Amino acid sequence: MSGVGEILKAIGDFGPFQKWLVLLTLIPCLSVAFHQFCQLFMVVDVPHHCDTSWIRAVGPNLTQEEQLNLTLPRDANGEYEQCSMYSPVDWDLDSIVAYGLNATQKCSSGWVYPSAEPPSLLTEFDLVCDRKDLNDIGQAIYMAGLLLGSMIFGPLSDRIGRRPVILISVILQGLFGLGIAFVPHFYVYMAFRCVVGASVSGITMTILTLATEWIGVSSRPKAVLSSHCCFAIGQMILAGLSYGIRNWRLLEIAGSAPILVILLYIWVLPESARWLVTKGRIEEAKKLLQKAAATNKRSLPEGLLEQLKPEKQIKSGSLLDLFRKKHLRKVTLIMSCAWFVNSFVYYGLSLNVTNFGLDIYLTQLAFGAVEIPARVGCIFTLQWFGRRKTQTVLLLLSGLVCLIITGIPEDQPLATTILATIGKFAASASFSTSYVYTAELFPTVVRQTGVGLCSMSARAAGILAPLVRLLGQYHEAIPMAIFGSAPVLGGLLCVLLPETRGTELPDDTEDGQTRAEVCENGTSNSENGQVKGKDGVQVNECTKTTYF
């Protein structure tokens, strides 16, 4: 155990100091949920048709219905076409009425929307017809910002510290989040959203790292679970906020401004003592550890602080190490695939909240509420059924639900929404399972690299999910069929992974198989406390891991 680890154990690794720190780190999770899904409520579909005011030049006294009847073609259902109009002519009104118009074209002068509707992204930037795809492209660009942020702020926090990166990310998110409410063009909106996505990634990743570096290993899952539940609560708050504030610019301000509250307590957030020690800033680390001890009402043993010295830098494994060993290569490829399909189906369902047929605000509320029991419930399923079975079943369930949805008729929105909620439950629980399972599968020397690679694959799926929705213009069932097929395949692949329940975490990559595999395939000898592997070699008995 490192010097900092010994001291944290002495002063309490999850006392009042750490609990207060976790509480402070949960506030940003609320804003993450807002930025992740707020665009869904800013692009609510409304009736629209081409602007045909050109005819007013020759018929200023026409009623609106007469104008539309003369200038807009009708579809097969007898409704006015939304994306086409009769081509303007330089005839007089009597000729137009007598002979009618036949040639059609795309809208050339913009669109007309109901005047009673509050401003939305759709109405202000004409995200309809040929420009409709910009909505999903904008969501994909936000997801790309998340990936960009993880690539920038992760290494930056290791270089300059956790607190400075949190401060930079908060300022960026606050400024660009509020700036979105004043953008004049949709392309500017997308650029600002990309920056917000990067800052969201910087805040969540760094602030969670800060909390876990102050917490003992056995209590770290509590912090992760708390952040996941807070994210779910944030989704529920988004449903209420978007229901009460229909003006998209005011909604953006209401959702972005609260993050600036962190600036009020950023100065009381402690720097990571572990990071300070690795950088040789021993005296600063000692002061923070003494403060933590006082808050936890613990006394430090004499001389323990004096033993604190810069930790030796352990050479971490590289990305190539994940593919050199056969067993690690299998784990890396399968878990990367599992994270990809998990993120794929999660966002595939979440971003389709407007297409299930029921009230989108109630659906969003249900989607957020269902994540809380999903996150909490996975603690027990992991303990009862193990990691591999839990991961496999949850991925299969989320995928099968999506495939079933493709066969539900459009006139059954309640059935579709119920199934989608079940899928969201399974995908959310699977995500929490992945965090635990992945950390237990990778050896210590490549654990951060392996988890980082899996996380990047999840980000890539987040970018792809909104773009797959564009395939719905060819057939409405195609996107959901793709979202369902991917996790079914990923779930089947997880069967090939070793079980890690009740095993100690692997430390290096030298063995031909992970310790989890040894424990799974070996035979226990309770008399001498050993586990006999397949080759008869005696190895230390597998001990219970410190996760769940």
Q: What are residue 532's DSSP bridge partners?
A: 523, 538
Spatial distance between the Cα atoms of 281 and 310, rounded to a whole number of angstroms: 8
- Vertex 411: Cα angle to 407 and 416 (nearest 5): 50
3-state secondary structure 189-208: HHHHHHHHHHHHHHHHHHHH
- Give me the pLDDT at residue 247, please: 92
Q: Do domains 1-47+129-313 and 317-510 have the same CATH topology?
A: yes
- From the list 244, 233, 231, 228, the residue with the least C-alpha distance to 361 is 244
Residues 6+ apart with CB under 8 A from 401: 419, 420, 422, 423, 426, 484
| pLDDT tens, per residue, the chain with 548 residues | 457 778 888 888 788 988 888 888 888 888 888 998 899 899 888 888 999 989 888 888 888 888 998 899 988 888 899 999 999 888 888 888 888 888 899 988 889 988 778 888 998 999 989 899 999 899 999 999 988 988 888 788 888 888 888 888 888 998 999 999 999 999 999 999 999 999 988 888 788 778 878 887 777 777 777 888 888 899 999 999 999 999 999 999 999 888 887 777 777 888 888 888 878 888 888 888 888 888 888 887 777 777 777 655 555 556 777 788 788 888 889 999 999 999 999 999 988 887 777 888 998 899 889 989 998 888 788 878 888 899 999 999 999 999 999 988 888 888 888 999 999 999 999 988 887 788 778 776 666 677 778 888 888 998 999 899 889 888 888 999 999 999 999 999 999 988 877 665 565 555 445 444 444 444 444 333 444 444 444 444 343 333 33
- Give me the pLDDT at residue 452, please: 76
Q: Topology of domain 317-510, per CATH?
A: Growth Hormone; Chain: A; (1.20.1250)
Burial 68-98 (b: 16+ CB within 10 A, else e): bebbbeeeeeeebbbebbbebeeeebeebee
| CATH classification for the domain delimited by 1-47+129-313, as one of 3.40.640.10, 3.40.50.1860, 1.20.1250.20, 3.30.930.10 | 1.20.1250.20
Burial 441-454 (b: 16+ CB within 10 A, else e): bbbebbbebbbebb
Report yes or no: 484 and 345 within 8 Å, Cβ to Cβ: yes
- Give me the pLDDT at residue 282, please: 85
- Give me the pLDDT at residue 402, please: 92
Report yes or no: 547 and 538 within 8 Å, Cβ to Cβ: no
Burial 292-319 (b: 16+ CB within 10 A, else e): bbebbeeebeeeebeebeeeeeeeebee
- Structure-block tokens of residue 178: 């509020």
Spatial distance between the Cα atoms of 353 and 236, rounded to a whole number of angstroms: 13
320 burial type by CB count under 10 A (0-12 exposed, 13-18 middle, 19+ buried): exposed
Spatial distance between the Cα atoms of 286 and 306, rounded to a whole number of angstroms: 9
- Classify residue 408 by its DSSP letter: S
pTM given for the model: 0.82
- Give me the pLDDT at residue 341, please: 94
Return the percent helix, strand and coil in the chain, to nearest 5: 65, 5, 30
Dihedral angle over CA of 499, 397, 335, 353, nearest 10 = -150
Q: What is the largest CA-CA distance in the chain?
A: 104
Domain boundaries, the chain: 1-47+129-313, 49-112, 317-510
